[in-house]
């Protein structure tokens, strides 16, 4: 994915105005390059593909299915 020079030098910056909660985590995008971001205990960080396929996502899917 294309990252701007600012993201490479200073890091990504989450767009807090467009953040949303998916039931488990807060998510947003970087205001500079548009990369998907997630907030965890350490703050905002870029979302990596491994996060999408972790047990955390599976718990989210089970919780959503049980609430219908």
Which residues have a Cβ under 8 Å from the Cβ of 6 and sit 6 or more positions away? 32
- What is the pLDDT, as a whole number, of residue 55? 54
Average pLDDT, the chain: 79
Does residue 68 surpass a pLDDT of 50? no
66 in a structural domain: no
Query: Within a domain: residue 65?
Result: no
Domain containing 50 equals 5-58
**CA 14/CA 47 separation, integer angstroms:** 11
In a domain, 64, yes or no: no
Per the structure, the count of domains in the chain is 1
Predicted TM-score (pTM) of the model is 0.64
Collapsing DSSP to helix, strand or coil, 41 comes out as coil
Question: Is the pLDDT at 24 greater than 90, yes or no?
Answer: no
User: Who wins on pLDDT, 56 or 7?
Assistant: 7
The whole-angstrom separation of Cα 45 and Cα 64 is 24
Predicted local confidence at residue 42, as pLDDT = 85
């Amino acid at each position: 994915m294309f990252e701007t020079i600012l993201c490479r030098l200073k890091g990504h910056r989450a767009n807090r105005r467009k953040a949303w909660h998916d039931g488990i985590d807060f998510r947003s995008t970087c205001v500079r390059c548009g990369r998907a971001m997630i907030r965890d205990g350490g703050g905002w960080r870029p979302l990596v593909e491994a996060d999408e396929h972790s047990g955390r996502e599976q718990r989210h899917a089970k919780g959503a299915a049980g609430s219908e």
